[in-house]
C-alpha cells in the first residue's frame, strides 16, 4: 500500500481521486445493443446471449422446475442464513416507511405527500464468479415494502444455461417468479424497452460490469430511472491507537478481494498503526483464495497518517467513501462530523461485512465519491412521493391574491385567470 505521512490539504486533492475509468469507447457498441433489442426484441436478446455469453437459449425465462430444483439443492445452512438476513433487512427497511401528516399551510389549504410504489421495477444480478444473492435481498425487500407491483429479475446463466442456484433459491424465498436468464447490456435493454418475453419496467436496479453500467447510463438518458451511477467498491477505515490491527487488516482485505479496481484506504492518527496493519495484512493475505486479486488492489491503496480524528474525518468527507469504518473509541461522538459517506460502521465490532449481509442496512451504496450527492438504496428508491392538495373556497380566497400577483409578475396571465375566474364566481355567490 502507498503510505503518506501527514499530507497537506493540497495533497489531499490528489489522494481523494479515484482511478479514472473511461467508458466513452463503449458508447457506440452499447448503443447498438440497445437499438437492436428495442427493434427486434427477443431475437436480438437471444443473439447477444449467444454471442457474448456463449449460450443458445430456446426459452430464457427460468422455469418453475428450475426454481424447484434450486430449492432442493441449496443447503439448510444457507437457507437459514438467508432467512435471518432477510428478517433483519426487512426490520430496518420497514422503519423507513413513515406516514407524513397533512399540513394546513394557510387556513383552507391542505397539502400532503403520499408514497406510492413504482409499479414496474427490474432487478439485475450479475453472474460470474461470485453469485451475489445478497444483492437480491437488498433490492427485493425494499421494493416489496414499497409496494412495487411488478418485480422482475434478470441474471445471466452459465454456458450450460443454468442460473446460480442460491440466486434462484433466494428469488423463490422472496417470492419473485419472473426471472430471465439473461445478462449484460441486452438484459438492461430488454427491461428498459420490453420484449415479447420481458416486460418493460420503469426503474432498473443492480450492479454489473462496464457493459451493464454503460447500458444503464444510456437508458437513463432516455428517461428510464436507475438506482445510481456505478463505480468500484471502496472502504475507508479510520483507526486510533487502540484499534486492533488484525480487525483493520481484515476489513481492508474484505474490500480488496472485490476486484483490482476496488479501493481501500486506512487513515489513522498513529504511525505505529500503519506498520502493525501492514504486518497483519501480510499474514492474512496468505490464507485468502483471492490473494492475487487482493494484492493487486492493495498496490493502489492508501495508508495515511493525520494528526487528529477530526482531521481523519475531514479527509473522509473529502473522499466520500462508500463504506466508512470508524474503528475508534467513542465512535458515536463523531457522527455529526460525518458529511459524505454511504454507510458508516461504528466501533471495533461493526465490520463492513455485517452491513454487506445481515445487519439490516442496505449494501447498495454510492461509490466513486457519489456519496457527496447520492444516498444508498432504501425504500425511498422504490417509491414516488406524490403531492396532494385540497383548497376549500376559503382557502383559495386566502391565497388567491398572492397567486395572482406572482403569476402576473411572471407574465403568466392564464395562470392568474385560473384563480381570478374562481374568485369572481365566489364573490357572486
Instruction: Please state the residue numbers annotated as binding site.
Output: 124, 186, 209, 233, 255, 258, 323, 356, 410, 415
Residues 405-424 that bind a copy of itself (CB under 8 A): 405-407, 409-419, 421-422
Residues 373-402 that bind a copy of itself (CB under 8 A): 373-376, 378, 380, 383-393, 395-396, 399, 401-402
- Of 106 and 300, nearer to a copy of itself (C-beta) is 106
Q: How many whole angstroms from its chain centre is CA 142? A: 12
Residues 183-242 that bind a copy of itself (CB under 8 A): 202-203, 217, 220-221, 223-225, 229, 231
Task: Please state the closest distance from residue 375 (CB atom) to a copy of itself, in A.
Answer: 4
Task: Please state the closest distance from residue 272 (CB atom) to a copy of itself, in A.
Answer: 20
Question: Of 93, 165, 234, 323, which is the active-site residue?
Answer: 323
Q: Could you say whether residue 39 binds a copy of itself (CB under 8 A)?
A: no
Task: Please state the closest distance from residue 186 (CB atom) to a copy of itself, in A.
Answer: 20
- Binding residue for a copy of itself (CB under 8 A) from 254, 263, 269, 316? 254
Can 322 be counted among the known catalytic residues? yes
Residues 50-79 that bind a copy of itself (CB under 8 A): 77-78
- Binding residue for a copy of itself (CB under 8 A) from 60, 247, 315, 319? 247
- Of 118 and 305, nearer to a copy of itself (C-beta) is 118
Please write down the HEC assignment for all residues of the chain.
Answer: CEEEECCCHHHHHHHCCCCCCCCCCHHHHHHHHHHHHHHHCHHHHHHHHHHHHCCCCCCCECCHHHHHHHHHHCCHHHHHHHHHHHHHHHHHHHCCCCCCCCEEEECCEEEEEEEEECCEEEEECCCCCCCCHHHHHHHHHHHHHHCCCEEEEECCCCCCCCCCHHHHHHHHHHCCCCEECCCHHHHHHHHHHCCCCCCCCCEEECCCCHHHHHHHHHHHHCCCEECCCCCCCEEEEEECCCCCHHHHHHHHHHHHCCCCCCEEEEEECCHHHHHHHHHHHHHHHCCCCCHHHHHHHHHCCEEEECCCHHHHHHHHHHHCCCEEEEECCCHHHHHHHCCCCCEEEECCCCCHHHHHHCCCCCCCCCCCCHHHCCCCCCHHHHEEEEEEEEECHHHHHHHHHHHHHHHHHCCCHHHHHHHHHHHHHHHCC
- Site size toward a copy of itself (CB under 8 A) is 134
What residues contact 258, with CB distance under 8 A and at least 6 apart? Answer: 232, 233, 297
Task: Please state the closest distance from residue 311 (CB atom) to a copy of itself, in A.
Answer: 18
Q: Could you say whether residue 338 binds a copy of itself (CB under 8 A)?
A: yes
Q: Could you say whether residue 130 binds a copy of itself (CB under 8 A)?
A: yes
Q: Could you say whether residue 341 binds a copy of itself (CB under 8 A)?
A: yes
Question: Of 322, 352, 363, 404, which is the active-site residue?
Answer: 322
Task: Please state the closest distance from residue 182 (CB atom) to a copy of itself, in A.
Answer: 21
Whether 395 and 423 have beta carbons less than 8 Å apart is answered as no
- Of 46 and 198, nearer to a copy of itself (C-beta) is 198
Q: Could you say whether residue 129 binds a copy of itself (CB under 8 A)?
A: yes
- Binding residue for a copy of itself (CB under 8 A) from 178, 290, 300, 314? 290
Annotated binding site for substrate: 233, 255, 258, 323, 356, 410, 415
C-alpha cell at 6: 501527514
- Of 257 and 305, nearer to a copy of itself (C-beta) is 257
- Binding residue for a copy of itself (CB under 8 A) from 28, 196, 332, 429? 332
Can 323 be counted among the known catalytic residues? yes
- Going by their DSSP bridges, the two strands 103-106 and 109-117 should be labelled as antiparallel
Nearest to 209 by CA among 365, 39, 30, 378: 30
Residues 87-126 that bind a copy of itself (CB under 8 A): 87-88, 91-92, 95-96, 98, 100-101, 103, 105-106, 109, 111, 113-114, 116, 118-120
Q: Could you say whether residue 5 binds a copy of itself (CB under 8 A)?
A: no
Q: Could you say whether residue 292 binds a copy of itself (CB under 8 A)?
A: no
Q: Could you say whether residue 348 binds a copy of itself (CB under 8 A)?
A: yes
23/4 Cα distance (integer angstroms):
30
Q: Which part of the chain contacts a copy of itself (CB under 8 A), choosing from 154-162, 176-184, 305-313, 329-337?
A: 329-337
Whether 295 and 1 have beta carbons less than 8 Å apart is answered as no
156/163 Cα distance (integer angstroms):
7
Nearest to 376 by CA among 230, 235, 170: 230
Q: Could you say whether residue 288 binds a copy of itself (CB under 8 A)?
A: yes
Q: Could you say whether residue 262 binds a copy of itself (CB under 8 A)?
A: no
Annotated binding site for NAD(+): 124, 186, 209
Residues with catalytic roles: 322-323
Amino acid at each position: 500500500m502507498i503510505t503518506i505521512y501527514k499530507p497537506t490539504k493540497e495533497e489531499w486533492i490528489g489522494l481523494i481521486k479515484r482511478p479514472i475509468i473511461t467508458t466513452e469507447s463503449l458508447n457506440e457498441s452499447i448503443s447498438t445493443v440497445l437499438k437492436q433489442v428495442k427493434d427486434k426484441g427477443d431475437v436480438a436478446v437471444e443473439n447477444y446471449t449467444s454471442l457474448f455469453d456463449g449460450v443458445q437459449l430456446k426459452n430464457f425465462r427460468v422455469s418453475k422446475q428450475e426454481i424447484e430444483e434450486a430449492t432442493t439443492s441449496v443447503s439448510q445452512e444457507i437457507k437459514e442464513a438467508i432467512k435471518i438476513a432477510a428478517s433483519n433487512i426487512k426490520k430496518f427497511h420497514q422503519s423507513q416507511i413513515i406516514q407524513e401528516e397533512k399540513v394546513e399551510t394557510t387556513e383552507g389549504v391542505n397539502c400532503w405527500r403520499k408514497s406510492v410504489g413504482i409499479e414496474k421495477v427490474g432487478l439485475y444480478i450479475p453472474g460470474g464468479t461470485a453469485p451475489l444473492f445478497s444483492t437480491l435481498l437488498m433490492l427485493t425487500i425494499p421494493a416489496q415494502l414499497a409496494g412495487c407491483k411488478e418485480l422482475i429479475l434478470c441474471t445471466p446463466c452459465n454456458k450450460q444455461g443454468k442460473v446460480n442456484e442460491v440466486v434462484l433459491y433466494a428469488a423463490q424465498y422472496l417470492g419473485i417468479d419472473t426471472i430471465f436468464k439473461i445478462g449484460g447490456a441486452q438484459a438492461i435493454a430488454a427491461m428498459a424497452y420490453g420484449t415479447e418475453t420481458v416486460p418493460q419496467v420503469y426503474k432498473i436496479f443492480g450492479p454489473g460490469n462496464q457493459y451493464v453500467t454503460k447500458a444503464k447510463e444510456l437508458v437513463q438518458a432516455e428517461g428510464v430511472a436507475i438506482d445510481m451511477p456505478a463505480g468500484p467498491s471502496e472502504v475507508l477505515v479510520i483507526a486510533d491507537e487502540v484499534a486492533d490491527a488484525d480487525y483493520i487488516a481484515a476489513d481492508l482485505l474484505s474490500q480488496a478481494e472485490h476486484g483490482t479496481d476496488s479501493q481501500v484506504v486506512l487513515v489513522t492518527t498513529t504511525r505505529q498503526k500503519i506498520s502493525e496493519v501492514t504486518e497483519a495484512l501480510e499474514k492474512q493475505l496468505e490464507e485468502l483464495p483471492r490473494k492475487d486479486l487482493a494484492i493487486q488492489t492493495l498496490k493502489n491503496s492508501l495508508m495515511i497518517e493525520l494528526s487528529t480524528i477530526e482531521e481523519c474525518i475531514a479527509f473522509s468527507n473529502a473522499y466520500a467513501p462508500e463504506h466508512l469504518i470508524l474503528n475508534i473509541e467513542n465512535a458515536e461522538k463523531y457522527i455529526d462530523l460525518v458529511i459524505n459517506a454511504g454507510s458508516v460502521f461504528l466501533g471495533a465490532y461493526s465490520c463492513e461485512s455485517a452491513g454487506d449481509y445481515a445487519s439490516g442496512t442496505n449494501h447498495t451504496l454510492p461509490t466513486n465519491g457519489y456519496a457527496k450527492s447520492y444516498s444508498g438504496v432504501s425504500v425511498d428508491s422504490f417509491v414516488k412521493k406524490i403531492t396532494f392538495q385540497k383548497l376549500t373556497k376559503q382557502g383559495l380566497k386566502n391565497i388567491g391574491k398572492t397567486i395572482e400577483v406572482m403569476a402576473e409578475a411572471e407574465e403568466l396571465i392564464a395562470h392568474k385567470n385560473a384563480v381570478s375566474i374562481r374568485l369572481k364566481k365566489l364573490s357572486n355567490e
